[in-house]
Structure 1
Amino acid sequence: MCGIVGIFDTHGNRDIDREALRRMNESQHHRGPDEGELYLEKGLGMGHRRLSVIDLATGQQPFLNPARDVALVFNGEIYNYRLLRDELIALGHVFRTKSDTEVVLQSWLAWGPDCVRRLRGMFAFAIWDRSQQTLFLARDHVGVKPMFYSLLPNGLFVFGSELKSIMTFPELSRELNPRAVEDYFAYGYVPEPKTIFNNAYKLSPGHCITLKVGDRAVQPQRWWDLAFRPAPQRPDAEVQEELIERLRETVHSQMESEVPLGAFLSGGVDSSAVVAMMAGDKPVTTCSIGFDDPEFDESEYANQVARRYATVHHGQVVDKDDYGLVDTLAHLYDEPFADSSAIPTYRVCQLARRHVTVALSGDGGDENFAGYRRYRFAMAEHSVRSKLPEAIRKPLFGTLGSLYPKADWAPRMFRAKTTFEALARDLVEGYFHGVSRLTDRQRDQLFSDGFRDDLQGYRAIDVMREHAARAPTDDPLSLIQYLDFKTWLPGDILTKVDRASMAHSLEVRVPLLDHTFCEYAATLPNDLKLRGGEGKYVLKKALEPHLPHDIMYRAKKGFSIPLADWLRGPLRQAVRDGVLGARLLDTGIFNRRYLEQLVSQHESGAADHSVALWSLLMFESFLRVSVAS
């Protein structure tokens, strides 16, 4: 695992500033503390920070071919590199190392841009081919590894693994993108391809960029997408057997390492499944954190799995008032990021790095097998919608939603206002409404009149609308899974884990997001994913011989923290200083009266505004750490 950076002169005739390249590279030192090298030639500079995992002796980067006319910087792991190496040798290619890095470079020489279609792994890389005067960038299928870029006003194209690397350039404007701000307060993150800044972008998952000297436009191209094409129905037992075989294969394919390797073990279905598939002759090293408050603690379930598979288990109890990471998170993420589970994720990565250099995680199980509760709610709402004509449904439930009192404090099943509002919408609107951190109405109150004018009618739902318009399916459940693969998964889950793990120079692999496994899961019929209100139905049934019943069929708590209590208690003054302070108000984005209402109602206990206040607190911290610095 590594950090990569680069500078490309689109004019092709300028010398690259070595010191500027060095600053970019060192801004990501945490991503690769083992080695750091630069490569420069006229019109091009590349940098690399290395965390050594495979081919420790000869895997240094930037990597050049013997003729020194092709250069590569690569972040990630290619799990089928041995097979590709054999294929390339058969084609006449000669290798100098045993690294997957050289396999990527030789794959470019053999197949050009189509090389990405042959790679199985997590990756973000850049290749400079002098003979073709071409710079090629690519990001893996589902977006496990990040890539940021910007075309600066002076004609320099800059890229890096983190936004902070390109923020080292004063030419990059710190002007906020109003649409990204609207997105952030809806989703809790800034979805691809936007960043929080106007002229900086994320390369979207499954996309690549081809730039030639003289190009003045950057046009990302999609090279992979997840297709939902259900296979013919088969007996459940047959599917369960095949699922375990595929799960074991994808886990084992990601266990190669020349440094200590282990796994996260939360006590949930997905991480427990990964550990069960890893188990063999050699004990697996597992890591988990618990909380000193039983309401948030799931460590006993992790201990059950650790005992069953005799893992070398490392657990750590975290104080429930572990709230001292606000500014740390702002520095890690470079743009506002409101998922409060970033705090326990940071802590479990910190723990794991004391024992291993590589950890496997269970991320992706919920997206592949419809495990989130919101899928169940969305399908129940869709079932009601489909029974009523739109001409009746929209005015009926729209009116009920406007009249029914708001009850955010109640369990979801009793929040009739939310349900009525969702039923008045179509599937995409309803799903967006269900996942939004702040509703449309709340964001309208949050923003100032001037900022709403700046949005020029843009709404955060447009992100989902655009993905839905391109979705390779019209099946309702498959569509919302697809939306999560395009928004929530890369924007929240994978971003959270990448930054938290790389902060500790820990490589995290995600076998359940191997693209071949995702493609297989996408062929499974819906009733094997969501049956009788049970999400991940077929995965759980397949795992029954391998995991305790309690692990799979209990109510899931998730990686949560006591946010509402923090914001009324130890963080009360921080909320007042941040949310009602000059830094937020001076942006002109926010409605002061509504901010005061959020704070006062939350402090008094009249309402729980913890989601909105945390989002605001993280936005203020971003402004203070990343913009003002």
Structure 2
Amino acid sequence: MCGIAGLYHLATPKPVDPARLERMADAMVHRGPDGGGVWTGPGVGLAHRRLSIIDVAGSPQPMASSDGRCILVFNGEIYNFRELRAELKAAGATFHTDGDSEVILAAWQKWGVDCLPRLSGMFAFAIYDLAARTLLLARDRLGVKPLFLAPLSDGSLAFASELKGLLAHPLLRREADPLAVEDYLAWGYVPDHRSILKGVEKLPAGHYLLLRHGAPLPCPVRWWDISFAERHRGKAADLEAELLHHLREAVSSRMVADVPLGAFLSGGVDSSSVVALMAEISADPVRTCSIGFDAAALDETSYADEVARRFGTDHRSRTVSADDFDHVDTLAAMFDEPFADASALPTWRVCQLARESVTVALSGDGADEALAGYRRHRFHHAEDRLRRLLPQPLRGPLFGALGSLYPKADWAPRPLRAKSTLISLASSSDLGYCQALAIVPESGRQALYSPQLKAQLGDYRAEQPLLELMARAPARSGLDRAQYADLAFWLPGDILTKVDRTSMAVSLEAREPLLDHRLLEFSARLPENLRIRQGQGKWLMKQAMRRYLPEPILFRPKQGFVTPIAQWFRGPLAETARTIATSATLARTGWFDPSRIGALAEAHISGRADNSRLLWQLLMLDRSLTRLKIA
């Protein structure tokens, strides 16, 4: 894995300072500690930091094509590079290295932008064509690898793998975008259509930009999308066999590396499935690692140990303290933008453990999005059945009234927390799913905001871009649109951002076989009753993995990494919660009502309500703004 950066002058090909590029790349040295390089030409400059994974001794970057016409900087892995290399070689291409970087260059020269659908992998790269004087910027289908962009006042476009690469450029404006604050409070992260800084953008997943000197900055072009509009026909047993084939292919293709390789193992269905298939393929014991907690309610290591014994893995585990709250500033530094998914902390910890013995680790991310594995998918699917039975004119007033009367019972067992379900049933299918995804509902956000921020936001609400995305989704049902939203919105903004930053922080390459695009495209066409059945999500996958995994692993309730922030804010972080309201950084923004934040903190500390997620969001926003020096 690597870090890339660059500058491109759109109008006038001004000289590019190599030292400036080097500073941008060195700000991301954690992404590539094994080497670096800078290349400049008239009006363009490319920089690279390398983490050596394939062709360790060769493939330095920036890399020139065999004829010297094109220059590449590349972050990621192309898993089918050997097949592409053979095809290109048969067509007359010449290769001087054994890695995937040179294959991208040859593919670009052979097929132009049509090379992108041929690439199977995770990537963000830039190719400068000296003869055509064009710059191609491209990002992989799902957005596994990031790419930040910013037009600068000198007429150049700057780009980098992380925001900190752009922050190293002295011309970057550091003004916060209030719309990003609304997005962040709703979702807990700044989604890919926005950045915390005005003027900074993210190249969307599955898109490319083709820039030309003398031409205006174009809009990104979509080169891939997933469709839920078709359905497979055939017997469940045949589709199960086909799903298992895709799973095997996805795992085996991601086991190519010239450095030590292993896997994260939580003991859940997804990571256990990946490890099972790795063990089937590998002649040597698979290296696995897991993190446990000293709080029994949060610890899953017994399940991971069971899977490790079952497949004879070389397993390492470590128990960390549930009171691991003294790394808030470390997390803020990793993510640059505010990021409030508290599972980032244990994810970082398991990446640290993995890096002690491997350079590449396979994860189980992606199956929940692809195969409807989240609890919210099951709820949404059931709610849509009721929506079909009751027309909106009857359903809206009925459930709206019930939802407004029902208490917000944070203290109650889950089945008794019906307020959100009632409110969802009063809404349309798409709006109901948006409400299920939101951490802070619109009413809660508005209650926090100052008149100044409300004026800046105008009519904008964070739900609008997601509702628009769902409305134009190639889909046949509410469940389809929900999964499409997860893959296109939530996955790149939350899950993949979390894994990229926490793994790259320790110079570890994380690979997601369950996000293989062929597996996703197959899964998107499955009938709904093969995704959700008998109250179980990922139903067909669980059937396919019965031959590998025992029932307690396949069918136990999903847990995932849990961080005890509710307890922290009632214990060691209670004073921190109280000081959020009076934070100098947040006060300077003028965005919030301090008395409202103070009341939320006191209600949480006293146990009257659970406001922990909102307090964590505000704390991470405060620390991020302080580090970015933009408020």
Supply the distance in 2 between the matched residues of 1:504 and 1:56 (Cα, whole angstroms): 18
* 2:193 match: 193
Supply the distance in 1 between the matched residues of 2:204 and 2:410 (Cα, whole angstroms): 34
Amino acid at match of 1:620: D
* 2:564 match: 562
Q: Which moved more, 1:355-364 or 1:379-388?
A: 379-388
Supply the distance in 2 between the matched residues of 1:242 and 1:107 (Cα, whole angstroms): 29
How big is each residue's C-alpha offset from its partner over 1:383-414, in whole Å with a ceiling of 9 and x where there is no partner?
Answer: 11111111121122222222222222223321
1:481 to 479, 483, 486: 483
* 2:299 match: 297
Supply the distance in 2 between the matched residues of 1:245 and 1:336 (Cα, whole angstroms): 39
* 1:610 match: 612
Are 1:2 and 1:48, in contact at CA under 8 Å, matched by a contact in 2? yes
Residue 257 of structure 2 aligns to a residue whose secondary structure is coil
2:525 to 512, 523, 526: 523
Amino acid at match of 2:99: S
Amino acid at match of 1:147: L
Amino acid at match of 1:142: L
Q: Are 1:502 and 2:504 matched, yes or no?
A: yes
* 2:513 match: 511
* 2:84 match: 84
1:337 to 329, 336, 339: 339
Supply the distance in 2 between the matched residues of 1:490 and 1:167 (Cα, whole angstroms): 22
Q: Which moved more, 1:167-176 or 1:103-112?
A: 167-176
Supply the distance in 2 between the matched residues of 1:175 and 1:218 (Cα, whole angstroms): 24
* 1:129 match: 129
Supply the distance in 1 between the matched residues of 2:390 and 2:231 (Cα, whole angstroms): 30
Residue 198 of structure 1 aligns to a residue whose secondary structure is coil
Q: Which moved more, 1:228-237 or 1:65-74?
A: 228-237
Residue 316 of structure 1 aligns to a residue whose secondary structure is strand
* 1:288 match: 290
Are 1:370 and 1:535, in contact at CA under 8 Å, matched by a contact in 2? yes
* 2:411 match: 409
* 1:549 match: 551
* 2:161 match: 161
Supply the distance in 1 between the matched residues of 2:68 and 2:44 (Cα, whole angstroms): 13
Q: Which moved more, 1:241-250 or 1:575-584?
A: 575-584
Give the CA deviation at 1:229. Answer: 3.9
Q: Which moved more, 1:146-155 or 1:64-73?
A: 64-73
Supply the distance in 2 between the matched residues of 1:378 and 1:475 (Cα, whole angstroms): 11
Mapping for residues 147-186 of structure 1, pairs under 5 Å: 147-186=147-186
1:378 to 380, 397, 415: 380
* 2:277 match: 277
Supply the distance in 1 between the matched residues of 2:512 and 2:418 (Cα, whole angstroms): 37
Are 1:330 and 1:626, in contact at CA under 8 Å, matched by a contact in 2? no
How big is each residue's C-alpha offset from its partner over 1:1-45, in whole Å with a ceiling of 9 and x where there is no partner?
Answer: 100000111124211012211110100000000001100112111
* 1:423 match: 425
TM-score after normalising by structure 1: 0.98
Q: Are 1:107 and 2:107 matched, yes or no?
A: yes
Supply the distance in 2 between the matched residues of 1:494 and 1:590 (Cα, whole angstroms): 29
Amino acid at match of 2:228: F
Give the CA deviation at 1:522. Answer: 1.0
Residue 498 of structure 2 aligns to a residue whose secondary structure is helix
* 1:14 match: 14
Are 2:580 and 2:597, in contact at CA under 8 Å, matched by a contact in 1? no
Supply the distance in 2 between the matched residues of 1:308 and 1:246 (Cα, whole angstroms): 23
Supply the distance in 2 between the matched residues of 1:626 and 1:287 (Cα, whole angstroms): 34
Mapping for residues 552-591 of structure 1, pairs under 5 Å: 552-591=554-593
How big is each residue's C-alpha offset from its partner over 1:393-440, in whole Å with a ceiling of 9 and x where there is no partner?
Answer: 112222222222222222332123222211111111101111111011
Amino acid at match of 2:571: G
* 1:50 match: 50
Give the CA deviation at 1:533. Answer: 1.1
Supply the distance in 1 between the matched residues of 2:202 and 2:312 (Cα, whole angstroms): 42
Residue 338 of structure 2 aligns to a residue whose secondary structure is coil
2:323 to 302, 321, 324: 321
Supply the distance in 2 between the matched residues of 1:604 and 1:355 (Cα, whole angstroms): 44
1:535 to 534, 537, 547: 537
Q: List gaps (5 residues or longer) in structure 2.
A: none
* 2:622 match: 620
* 2:25 match: 25
* 2:400 match: 398
How big is each residue's C-alpha offset from its partner over 1:577-618, in whole Å with a ceiling of 9 and x where there is no partner?
Answer: 334322112211101121111111011111110011000000
* 1:38 match: 38
Supply the distance in 2 between the matched residues of 1:216 and 1:412 (Cα, whole angstroms): 53
Q: Are 1:225 and 2:225 matched, yes or no?
A: yes
* 1:213 match: 213
Are 2:3 and 2:161, in contact at CA under 8 Å, matched by a contact in 1? yes
1:388 to 387, 390, 401: 390
Are 2:229 and 2:476, in contact at CA under 8 Å, matched by a contact in 1? no
Give the CA deviation at 1:231. Answer: 3.5
Are 2:10 and 2:217, in contact at CA under 8 Å, matched by a contact in 1? no
* 2:254 match: 254
Supply the distance in 2 between the matched residues of 1:30 and 1:530 (Cα, whole angstroms): 41
Amino acid at match of 1:22: E
Residue 55 of structure 2 aligns to a residue whose secondary structure is coil
Q: Which moved more, 1:87-96 or 1:270-279?
A: 87-96
* 2:446 match: 444
Amino acid at match of 1:473: A
Q: Are 1:435 and 2:421 matched, yes or no?
A: no
Supply the distance in 2 between the matched residues of 1:427 and 1:171 (Cα, whole angstroms): 45
Q: Are 1:64 and 2:83 matched, yes or no?
A: no
How big is each residue's C-alpha offset from its partner over 1:47-93, in whole Å with a ceiling of 9 and x where there is no partner?
Answer: 00000010112111000124433110001100111111111111111
Residue 72 of structure 2 aligns to a residue whose secondary structure is strand
Are 2:188 and 2:439, in contact at CA under 8 Å, matched by a contact in 1? yes
Are 1:203 and 1:220, in contact at CA under 8 Å, matched by a contact in 2? yes
Give the CA deviation at 1:171. Answer: 2.0
Supply the distance in 2 between the matched residues of 1:379 and 1:312 (Cα, whole angstroms): 40
Amino acid at match of 1:546: Y
Supply the distance in 2 between the matched residues of 1:266 and 1:520 (Cα, whole angstroms): 26
Q: Are 1:459 and 2:461 matched, yes or no?
A: yes
Are 1:150 and 1:159, in contact at CA under 8 Å, matched by a contact in 2? yes
Amino acid at match of 1:65: S
* 1:599 match: 601
Are 2:13 and 2:213, in contact at CA under 8 Å, matched by a contact in 1? no
Residue 36 of structure 1 aligns to a residue whose secondary structure is strand
Q: Which moved more, 1:476-485 or 1:399-408?
A: 399-408
Residue 132 of structure 1 aligns to a residue whose secondary structure is coil
How big is each residue's C-alpha offset from its partner over 1:446-495, in whole Å with a ceiling of 9 and x where there is no partner?
Answer: 11111011011100111211211321113111110000011111000000
Amino acid at match of 1:187: W
Supply the distance in 2 between the matched residues of 1:78 and 1:301 (Cα, whole angstroms): 33
Give the CA deviation at 1:331. Answer: 0.6
Are 1:71 and 1:127, in contact at CA under 8 Å, matched by a contact in 2? yes
- Percent identical pairs in the alignment equals 50
Are 2:177 and 2:198, in contact at CA under 8 Å, matched by a contact in 1? yes
Supply the distance in 2 between the matched residues of 1:232 and 1:278 (Cα, whole angstroms): 28
Supply the distance in 2 between the matched residues of 1:216 and 1:95 (Cα, whole angstroms): 35
Are 1:122 and 1:144, in contact at CA under 8 Å, matched by a contact in 2? yes
The 3 A distance-change label for structure 1 pair 44 and 248 is same
* 2:235 match: 235
How big is each residue's C-alpha offset from its partner over 1:359-386, in whole Å with a ceiling of 9 and x where there is no partner?
Answer: 0000001011100000011112111111
Residue 46 of structure 1 aligns to a residue whose secondary structure is strand
Amino acid at match of 1:494: L
Give the CA deviation at 1:628. Answer: 5.3
Supply the distance in 1 between the matched residues of 2:249 and 2:65 (Cα, whole angstroms): 33
